[in-house]
Amino acid sequence: MVYSFSLTNPELAYIFGFLQTDGHLRKNSRNRGCLEVELQTQDRPILDKFMEIIPVSSTIRERTRDTNFKSKYVSVIWSVYDLEFRTALNKLGLSYGKKSQTISIPTVPFSEIDYWRGIIDGDGSLGMTAKQYPFISLITTSPSLHQAYTEFLFKKTGQIKMTTPNKRDNAYNICLFKENAQKLIDELYYPGCLCLDRKLAAAELAKTWVRPADMIKRTWEVRKWTPNEDTIVLKLPYKKAAEKLGRTEKSIKTRAWRLRILAANESTQ
């Protein structure tokens, strides 16, 4: 029987997101291959849970090696050789070999919150900044994942994140801070969810933050968009729309992006 990996299942959606970031799928001749996840020893509990949830034969072993940062570094590796399981993952979009620049969200229905928690647990970070206010960030070199994540953030927090890749390694660093970070963290790390223990501890700490009385929240008068302006934004080139409306070209691009996201969300409802 072919293994079924339904991403509408919250636990499987989380695992798939986690595998896209921290997993490595390889194949050899005659259908030989393996899925492996290597983590620091303190994260072993999540691999034990993966073994319980995934109904195929798998193993966990320890590995000791010298790295650029530490000698005799000990890690734990979860290995799955089952061909049907590996095939199911590949069909869902988990690529063989290096995949950091090609990661994209599933094309099948999936549990969104749980999937993104898996991505954050793998390639993200959260908690408190050095100045002691909440943050959550995701670093990715995949343009597709960057686009999908910024759309997800807009839907959940209303904040538009227009980030560009850095020059060093072409990576996007997408961050939320303070109340917006808390809002997202609270939704991602809900009670009883499957996640890394250390990320859950960081999430719980971030949720306790209260804005100090002397920390003024920035507010400003927003020039509201009219239906007529929206029509111009969508019809004219950015530069011409900016000149006609007396706005910056950046604001025109941002508004056009937001209108397309709103239209896409309405079409899926």
* pLDDT of 218: 64
Phi, psi of 25, deg, nearest 5: -105, 120
Q: What is the pLDDT of residues 34-87, one digit of tens each?
A: 999 999 999 999 999 999 999 898 999 998 887 777 788 889 999 999 999 998
The counts of H helices and E strands in the chain are 10, 7
Closest CA to 16 of 82, 137, 108, 84: 108
| pLDDT higher at 20 or 264 | 20
Beta pairing class for 58-65 and 73-80: antiparallel
pLDDT band at 2 (very low <50, low <70, confident <90, very high): very low
Per the model's pLDDT, the better-predicted residue between 158 and 109 turns out to be 109
Structural domains in the chain, CATH included, are 10-96 (3.10.28.10), 117-207 (3.10.28.10), 227-268 (no CATH)
Listed residue (188, 201, 194, 200) closest to 50, CA to CA: 194
CA proximity to 149, closest of 168, 124, 179: 124
Kindly provide the residue ranges of all beta strands, DSSP E only, lying in the chain, ordered along the sequence.
23-27, 33-40, 58-65, 73-80, 124-128, 134-140, 172-177
Q: Is 260 strand, coil or helix?
A: helix
C-alpha 10/C-alpha 110 separation (Å) is 8
Q: Which residues pair with residue 134 across a beta bridge?
A: 128
Strand order in the sheet with 73-80: 23-27, 33-40, 73-80, 58-65
> 38 has which bridge partners?
77
Say if CB 183 and CB 158 are below 8 A apart.
no
Please report which confidence band the pLDDT of residue 216 belongs to, taking 50, 70 and 90 as the band edges.
confident
pLDDT score of 222: 60
Question: Residues 184, 187, 190, 194: is their CA dihedral positive or negative?
Answer: negative
- pLDDT: which is higher, 68 or 200: 200
pLDDT score recorded for residue 3 = 60
* pLDDT band for position 168 (cuts 50, 70, 90): confident
Q: Higher pLDDT residue, 245 or 18?
A: 18
Q: Which amino acid is at 219?
A: T
Nearest to 20 by CA among 83, 84, 114: 114
